[in-house]
Amino acid sequence: MITQGDVMRERLFWILKNHGISDRIAKAFLEVPREEFLTRHYPLSYVYEDTVLVSYEDGEVFSTSSQPSLMAMFMEWVDLDEGMRVLEIGGGTGYNAAVMSRVVGKKGLVVTVEYFEEVCRIARENMRRLGIENVVVVCGDGYYGVSDFAPYDVIFVTVGVDEVPEHWFCQLKDGGRVIVPINMKISARQPAFLFVKNGSHLEGGYKLETRFIKAGGNLGNLLERNRRLLRDFPFQKAIRVPRLQVFVELVDLLTRRLAEMNGIFYYAGPEGTVEFLNGEMRIYGRAPEIESLLSQWEECGYRSFEHLMLHIGYNAVSYISCTI
């Protein structure tokens, strides 16, 4: 017997197809009842619209079910396929993990991490109730990843984070992919980036603008953590920098050492501090990493990150390429 839910899921399938989503991904949305992951009631006709829905809210904690077409595009960009092992950060009540579990199949695994305990408990119950056995729900700070099930083919991030931490990098297979919305601290934007692990670097670039809930824990407090790294060094020199805000965003992405104090942004380096203010950077001590990035950026015509290839180093020097 065909139910209203079946009809509505079929409608969502064709919405996704109209967005250019492959059958392999779109069919997974046919198999998972989205309404089962919502703690408030919506008409089914609204549940299967291509829209963000509130999945949990208690006055303090807020969780959403992301726009299906955006999640489907993320799945396409990371080449999600059968047999893959996925680490999802920001699992919410579990809908996206459940859909991905259908794509990776019985030979694959989705490990999803949720920061808020009650939301995590609901996600676990949803998987149990629906008999979804290839999803592991972990409660905790996604900053640390989940090493027990590493290495992963894909890291799939559905919250806005301040960085791609080294824990994730170490848990990702070489050649593995990361799709991640990153909180830009100076502009309050949240662009999504697609990276591929290549040796000691994550390489990739900008995909599109997003607006996810910002992550809790260590994934959402990088400026505070880096503030503790600021040290006093003797003043060395000042350098005028065109499009300073654009350069500071590159520093944020490539070094993961941006700090803020009293409304002023700094690079908190191991050998020096750089202050970004009034169209110039003031170097205290030594900051070879920043001077090298500035030189590369000048060679690339002072382009914004949307038009550059980023090479983020882990125990290696980060750099930019002009061609994407």
pLDDT of 57-74, one tens digit each? Answer: 888 787 999 999 999 999
Residue 32 and residue 11: Cα distance in Å, rounded? Answer: 13
pLDDT at 5 over 80: no
Q: pLDDT value at position 238?
A: 97
Q: What is the pLDDT of residues 99-119, one digit of tens each?
A: 999 999 999 999 999 999 999
Assigned token pair, 287: 């900051």
Q: pLDDT value at position 282?
A: 98
Rounded mean pLDDT of 231-240?
Answer: 96
Of the residues 218, 246, 263, which one is the last residue of a structural domain?
218
For residues 265 and 214, membership in a common domain is answered with: no
Q: What are phi and psi of 184, to 5 degrees?
A: -85, 115
Catalytic residue, from 55, 63, 65, 66: name it: 66
Tell me what the pLDDT averaged over the chain comes to: 96
Rounded mean pLDDT of 300-308?
Answer: 96
Residue numbers of the domain that contains 226:
221-321
pLDDT at 258 over 80: yes
For residues 87 and 189, membership in a common domain is answered with: yes
Q: What is the CATH number of the domain that holds 108?
A: 3.40.50.150
pLDDT at 11 over 90: yes
Evaluate whether residue 35 is within a structural domain.
Answer: no
Evaluate whether residue 301 is within a structural domain.
Answer: yes
For residues 290 and 246, membership in a common domain is answered with: yes
For residues 207 and 292, membership in a common domain is answered with: no
Of the residues 191, 218, 245, which one is the last residue of a structural domain?
218
Q: pLDDT value at position 323?
A: 81
Confidence of residue 6 (pLDDT cuts 50, 70, 90): confident
Of the residues 167, 187, 218, which one is the last residue of a structural domain?
218
| Cα radius of gyration rounded to whole Å, the chain | 21
What's the pTM value of the predicted model, to 2 decimals?
0.95
Q: Print the SS3 string covering the chain.
A: CCCHHHHHHHHHHHHHHHCCCCHHHHHHHHCCCHHHHCCCCCCHHHHCCCCCEEEEECCCCEEEECCHHHHHHHHHHCCCCCCCEEEEECCCCCHHHHHHHHHHCCCCEEEEEECCHHHHHHHHHHHHHHCCCCEEEEECCHHHCCHHHCCEEEEEECCEECCCCHHHHHHEEEEEEEEEEECCCCCCCCEEEEEEEECCEEEEEEEEECCCCECCHHHHCHHHHHHCCCCCCCEEEEEECCCHHHHHHHHHHHHCCEEEECCEEEEECCCEEEEEECCEEEEEECCHHHHHHHHHHHHCCCCCHHHCEEEEECCCCCEEECCC
Q: pLDDT value at position 310?
A: 98
pLDDT at 296 over 80: yes
Query: By CB neighbour count within 10 A (0-12 exposed, 13-18 middle, 19+ buried), where does 1 fall?
Result: exposed
Provide the percentage of residues in the chain whose pLDDT is more than 90: 94
Rounded mean pLDDT of 259-279?
Answer: 96
Confidence of residue 4 (pLDDT cuts 50, 70, 90): confident
Q: What is the pLDDT of residues 274-295, one digit of tens each?
A: 999 999 999 999 999 999 999 9
Rounded mean pLDDT of 113-139?
Answer: 97
Rounded mean pLDDT of 283-312?
Answer: 97
Assigned token pair, 266: 């700094």
Q: What is the pLDDT of residues 76-91, one digit of tens each?
A: 999 999 999 999 999 9
First to last CA, the chain: 50
For residues 199 and 314, membership in a common domain is answered with: no
Rounded mean pLDDT of 237-264?
Answer: 97
pLDDT at 324 over 70: no
Residue 147 appears among annotated catalytic residues: no
Evaluate whether residue 288 is within a structural domain.
Answer: yes
The total number of structural domains in the chain stands at 2
